Structure formats: C-alpha cells, structure tokens
Amino acid sequence: MKKKFLVFLKILISGILVYLVFRFSDLDLKKTLIVLKTTNPLWASLCLVFISATIFTNAYRWMILANLLDYKLSYPKALRMYFESSFTNNVLPTNFGGDAIRAFDLGRTDKSWLRAASTVLMERFLGFSMMFSLVPIGLIASKFTRFKDCLPLPVETALWASFTMMVFSVIGYGLWSKIPLGFIQKIKYAITEYTKCHKSLSKVILWTFITHVFFIGGCICSGLAVGLSFSVVPWWYWLVFIPSATLASFVIPSIKGAGAREVSFIYFLNLISVSGDKALAIAIIGLLATMISTLPGISIVFRKMKLGAVVQEEATHEQEELEKITPKKSSKKPSKKAKAGKTAVSAHSSTYTEE
C-alpha cells in the first residue's frame, strides 16, 4: 500500500511540475518540436558520445573503489553491472533502484552486503561532491562577464550554501556522522571502511573529475546542438545550473526526475534570456542521450531477476548488518527489586549517585 502511494505521489508531482512548465513559462510545444527537428546532428552526436563516456569512466572508478576493499572486480564485469544499473535507473518503467541492484550483485561474492553497498555510496558521495565543488568556479567567473547579475540573490545564496554544505560534509564529519539515521550510518560505515584500507582515493578523485568534464561537455554539446553558442550560454553557466538540475531530479519525488529536470533547465536558462522551447529541447536531447547510452544494460531484462525482490533483499541485508554494528542503548526498565534497592541506598547514603 505504501509503495503504491509513493508511486502515485511521484506521478502526481511529475504531473504538477509539467503543468507548471506550460502554465508559467513562455513554452510553446510546437516551437520545441521545430527546434528538435532542426537540431545540429554533429553536436547532438557529440552529446551522445560524451554522455556515453561517463558510463565507461563511472564504471572504472567504481571498479577502483570496489578493489580498494579487495573485491577483485574486473573492468568488463564492472562495466556490465554499471550499464545494467544505469538502464534500470533511466529506462525501465520501475520504481526500483539500479544502485541497489549493483550493490546486490557485488555483495553476492562475499555476502558482505553493507560493505558492497559502501562502494556504491562512496561513488555517489564523491560524484556529488565533485559536482558541487565546481559551482564556485562558475559563480566567480560570472562576476567578470555581462551576466554577473543574472542570478537572483536567493538562488546565488543557495548555490553557495550547497557548496558550503559539501565542504562541511568533509570537515564536519565528526559531527554529522553521529546522527542516528540509517542512511547517515551507512555513509559513516562506508567512510570507515575506506579509512581502514589505508589506500589513497586520489585515482578515484581524478576519474571523478574526468567523468564530470565529460558530463558537462555533453550538456554543452546539447546547447550547441540547438544553436546556443558560448556568447549566449557561457561555459561557466553550465557549471552553475547543471548541478542544481541534477540535484532536483534526485531530490524531488517524481518519476525518473520528469518535470523537475525540465523545470530547472527552463528556469535557469530563462535567467539569461534563452526561450523556454530551446531550454526544453536541451533537456530532451540530454535525456535521450542518457537513455540511449544505457541501452547495453538491457541485458538485465534477460537475467530473469525479480527486481523488486532483489532491491528488498538488499535493503534487508544492509539493515541487518547495520543493526549488528550499531551500538544500542539498553531499553530494559529496572525491576521493582532494583528500584527498592536504589531507594534504600539513597536513604542510607548521602553520596549515592544514580548511574
């Protein structure tokens, strides 16, 4: 019942966001179709190449992370698992997480489910950290251009706040890691595992940077494909709004990020006088490139996996292991005899202190 409600809620939110796009923007769907028909095939192809490249680099850095924890994962296997995970996330009409399936596949090798999930969590954590670490470059570069006042103060403040939170997540680890939430404790476990292995993450960080260069490059190509040169949308602006659009598609509970992604593109590109039809066309080109690039992952359909059962089993295994390593406070109430004993002690001793 709960799952059905969540699916209904996501469909509803996606519908509301799509309605808002058409209601409060200068969007003309006919013009959008014309823009898509006149798309430059060379730049659109380069967009697909760059987006496809991110899967190969993502799989490689995930393989490194897995092998740092002694999984001995080969690149061909890591690539196949990453394609299947991405295909599940972006193409299949399911509500199941491709990342959970990837963690389950890896965890089957040693039955250490939480440890396997740590490789996926660390990969995601480094990815988002790298994405938002590039935001200040765009914000600072904007001050030396004619677009220096294009971002409303609340939006610019929020972008700086997101960067500050990213920095705090690193330097303030000792504080937030004590928060007794399951997801926080999983991240803490992941960081602890990589700290214990005493191996450098520098190679992973380098490949994370390369991945985001490819990703931003793909986004820029999607803009060039609809005729938006750097004089219209400068290079630094992509560093500013792409992280926001990506985060929105993850955080806002919608079906596959539908609506949230398009609203973000239209909003940010409207700030620099790009029409809604071109903004929507860019979002569609990026979405199509993402979906096409994951098609090799269709092999997961032929594995006869019950995806919902796999995701549920992975979540159950992780929770069980998390409960084993998480210290629990005793919830036993003292017996009547113990209470009577404490009362007697407190009555006969002025130095008694309740423990």
The answer to whether residue 238 scores a pLDDT higher than 50 is yes
Residue 149 belongs to some domain of the structure: yes
Domain count for the chain, please give it: 1
Residue 354 belongs to some domain of the structure: no
The residues near 318 (Cβ < 8 Å, ≥ 6 apart) are 103, 113, 114, 117, 186
If you average pLDDT over every residue of the chain, what do you get? 82
pLDDT above 90 coverage of the chain, percent: 38
Distance CA 260, CA 254 (A): 7
Residue 82 belongs to some domain of the structure: yes
Residue 286 belongs to some domain of the structure: yes
Mean pLDDT lowest for which of 181-190, 204-213, 335-344?
335-344
Distance CA 325, CA 204 (A): 27
Q: Quick: pLDDT tens for 39-60.
A: 999 999 999 999 999 999 999 9
At 331 the pLDDT is 47
Residue 220 belongs to some domain of the structure: yes
At 5 the pLDDT is 67
Residue 73 belongs to some domain of the structure: yes
Residue 40 belongs to some domain of the structure: yes
Half-sphere exposure of 180 (CA within 13 A, CB side): 5
At 95 the pLDDT is 47
Range of the domain at 119: 16-322
Q: Quick: pLDDT tens for 121-178.
A: 899 989 988 988 999 999 999 999 999 889 999 989 989 998 898 888 888 888 888 8
Burial of 288 (0-12, 13-18, 19+ CB in 10 A): middle
CA-atom Rg of the chain in angstroms: 24
Residue 337 belongs to some domain of the structure: no
Q: What angle do CA 319, 322, 327 make, to 5 degrees?
A: 135
3-state helix, strand, coil in the chain (%, to 5): 75, 0, 25
